[in-house]
Amino acid sequence: MQNTKLLQAQGQTESIQMLSVQPDTKPKGCAGCNRKIKDRYLLKALDKYWHEDCLKCACCDCRLGEVGSTLYTKANLILCRRDYLRLFGVTGNCAACSKLIPAFEMVMRAKDNVYHLDCFACQLCNQRFCVGDKFFLKNNMILCQTDYEEGLMKEGYAPQVR
């Protein structure tokens, strides 16, 4: 028996170190596909053994053995770091409507602010933005280019909802 250290789950973050271990003489069953693991290397995580191909993120299907040495679990899901943070991380409050944004929701980010997708629009004309569109932040208001430039031309800029 070689190199099968016990794994420690860090209770708080629920991140778990994966080990690449060499199998014993007796083949282990894979916790993913239930077949025997005959590969040279297998992964040990959550006190179970896995084919390198079978330990996948429940969300994006990426092979966790390749992504890094850490995986995350919650509610019986095995997740990569990115999906874990997306699903269970704290997003914060929407800078437009100031309601809390559920962590699993898609958000727009501008500087330090986060927005609901629905809230991310020019706050004067309600124009929506696509990825790559230009937008401006002025006094923490989202503005489209037109409204931003119009505002610059007026003296004593005081935006009014049209």
Q: Which amino acid is at 161?
A: V
Binding mask 36-55 for Zn ion (x = CB under 5 A): ---------------x--x-
Residues 56-95 that bind Zn ion (CB under 5 A): 57, 59-60, 80, 83, 94
Which window, 13-21, 38-46, 112-120, 151-159, contacts Zn ion (CB under 5 A)? 112-120
Q: In a 10 Å sphere around its CB, with 0-12 CB exposed, 13-18 middle and 19+ buried, how is residue 144 labelled?
A: buried
The CB density around residue 71, as the number of other CB atoms within 10 Å, is: 24
Q: Which of 23, 116, 121, 142 binds Zn ion (CB under 5 A)?
A: 116
Residue reference for tokens 């250290």: 5
Nearest distance, CB of residue 3 and Zn ion, angstroms = 20
Sign, CA dihedral 153-155-160-162, equals: negative
Q: Which is closer to Zn ion, CB of 21 or CB of 59?
A: 59
Q: Give the β-pairing of 48-50 and 9-10.
A: unpaired
In the complex, which residues of this chain contact Zn ion (CB under 5 A)? 30, 32-33, 51, 54, 57, 59-60, 80, 83, 94, 96-97, 116, 119, 122, 124-125, 127, 144, 147
